[in-house]
Amino acid sequence: MEGKEITPEYIIEILKKEGVEIKIEDAKIMIDFIQKIAKVAVNQYLSGRF
């Protein structure tokens, strides 16, 4: 997935393979959360607080 955008449809597809069904709105919330966590992780790494 490197260099590609993670879409709600992709999240739904991955979870469906694991037997979990979610709505597109929930997938969008998950993507937002993942992006926030990633920003925190990158900021901590770059500032030396990891």
Q: Model-level pTM?
A: 0.77
In this structure, what is the dihedral angle of CA atoms 40, 43, 46, 47, given to the nearest 10 degrees?
-110
pLDDT tens profile 7-29: 999 999 999 999 999 999 999 99
Give CA–CA dist 24/41, Å, rounded: 26
What whole-number percentage of the chain has pLDDT above 70? 92
pLDDT category at 2 given cuts 50, 70, 90 is low
pLDDT recorded at residue 1: 56
